[in-house]
Structure 1
Amino acid sequence: MTIETITKRTAPSRTNDPEGTKRNIIEVATKEFAQNGLSGARIDEIAAKTKSSKRMIYYYFGDKDGLYLKVLEDAYSRMRMTEAALDLEDLPPAEALAKLVRFTFDHHNGHEDFIRLVMIENIHHGEFLAKSSVIQKLNVTAIDAVRRLYGRGVEQGVFRAGLDPIEVHWQISALCFFNVSNRATFSQIFKRDLGSRKSLDSLREAVVEMVVRHLKAD
């Protein structure tokens, strides 16, 4: 059997737009993995909801694990790309920090699938995230942005010295993440709609105030 014959039998044949097809598969797979987890998601179901086939999905992504990893990389990439466009360097440190916290809060609130994917990956102890050089590089960039912002604040006497930028990033992420991950249980337990516009506005500004006060110099 020749290489040409093998290629004809394995290459996808139903698309003239491979990038568009991959984009469609990733979008559908994101919802499936977020809803059902890695073990519960089915390639057959993903194929049925896309403009592709099961064979095409395997051709582009290798297997279900490969598709799941690509979904994770895409979710982190889109967040970091939007975050990078905030132009924090042009703002005074305290204003830049407040803008970063508001962005993180609003991003997480508007991207529940991202939160669910991160929760699922934590169930897998970060196994797939650890395999991705893409995500590692993206998060180094995110920490560098926090480090530069914090450094400017310390130099100008706005922020107190001695804080760890990774811990600052963790604190921002934790407060904004919890707003989505635990909203349903909190709302049920305390009989208050914490997803209402009024509650979200109040929670967001409280998170901004807590983070900014934590960093501010005495």
Structure 2
Amino acid sequence: MPPDAPLSPRAAATRRRILDAALAEFAAKGLAGARVDEIAARAGVNKRMLYAHFGAKEDLWLAALEAAYAAKRAEEERLDVAHLPPREAMARLVSFNLRYTAAHPEFVALLNEENLHRAAHLRRSRDVPALYSPLTETLRAVLARGAAEGLFRTDADPLQLYLSIVALGHFTVANRHTLSALFGEDLGSEAALAAREAHAVAMVLGYLRP
């Protein structure tokens, strides 16, 4: 099915069910372990219908990845940080990235799996890089406003800062089971997440202080 072909409401709903089923199956079993039969059964369609919408299993995997990234970016955009004071905007971005990771283990699972494949499938995507280009520009604008108001340093690199923001939240949440075992504390509890969130916000704002 051509990717730009208009879909009827029924076809769009079918496609959405297949994609939701694929996200669940891939997150649970990875690319190699997931079975097209199981995805079709979850979605309530036959395999022929699945292949008509998405093509081969690897194409469905890429579509699931793209959907996962798009969902995160859609929520990130709703933060509307362009209309917030610079420090509040930055704190909101830090908190969002940590909380999103905690709320969406399927996103973590898909990213971990794709990294095992050295992003071989994601490199085929034209959509995901396009989603993230505006993000660095938004961050650049927040940094510029903060610097103009004397709140932020003037030499912060938007890309490096975003990588740090994501890392501060993602690493702890994605590895909370092993870290909890090592330190004898439930790092997935709400209290632990709140403490990590406050620490991450303080670190980023502290770095940005002129």
TM-score after normalising by structure 2: 0.93
Specify which of 61, 64, 81 is matched with residue 57 of structure 2. Answer: 64
The superposition leaves residues 114-154 of structure 1 with CA deviations (integer Å, 9 ceiling, x where unpaired) of 01111111111111111111001001122111111112111
RMSD value, Cα: 1.5
Unaligned stretches of 5+ residues in structure 1: 1-6, 8-14
1:117 aligns with 2:119: no
Aligned counterpart in structure 2 of residue 18 of structure 1, from 11, 15, 36: 11
The one-letter amino acid paired with 2:140 is: R
Counterpart check, 1:153 vs 2:137: no
**Alpha-carbon offset, residue 16 of structure 1:** 7.3
Structure with max Cα Rg: 1
The aligned runs of 1:17-36 (5 Å cut-off) are 17-36=10-29
Match of 2:87 among 73, 87, 94: 94
- Post-superposition CA distance 1:26-46 (Å, at most 9, x none): 111111111211111110111
Q: Check whether the contact 1:109–1:179 (CA below 8 A) recurs between aligned residues.
A: no
Flag the 1:82–1:16 CA change in 2: closer, same or farther, 3 A. closer
1:176 is matched with 169
Q: Report how many residues are paired.
A: 204
1:128 matches 2:121: yes
- State the distance in 2 between where 1:16 and 1:103 align: 32
1:93–1:150 Cα contact (<8 Å) kept? yes
Identity of aligned residues (%): 39
CA contact (8 A) 2:98 2:173 kept: no
One-letter code aligned to 1:202 = A
Aligned to 2:5: none
8 Å Cα contact 1:154/1:161 also seen in 2: yes
Indicate how the Cα distance of structure 1 residues 154 and 16 shifts in structure 2: closer, same or farther if over 3 A, else same.
closer
Q: Structure 2: which amino acid aligns with 1:54?
A: K
Partner of 1:207: 200
Amino acid at match of 2:51: Y
**Matched position secondary structure for 1:151:** helix
Aligned to 1:45: 38
Cα offset for 1:179? 2.2
Question: Comparing 107-116 with 151-160, which one deviates more in the overlay?
Answer: 151-160
Structure 2 gap ranges (5+)? 2-7
Asked if the contact 1:115/1:180 (under 8 Å) is kept, the reply is no
Among residues 69, 83, 98, which one is paired with 1:105 in the alignment?
A: 98
| Whole-angstrom CA distance in 1 between matches of 2:200 and 2:121 | 30
Give the letter aligned to residue 59 of structure 2: G
- In the alignment, is the contact (CA less than 8 A) between 2:101 and 2:174 conserved in 1? no
Q: TM-score, normalised by structure 1?
A: 0.90
Q: Which residue does 1:139 correspond to in 2?
A: 132
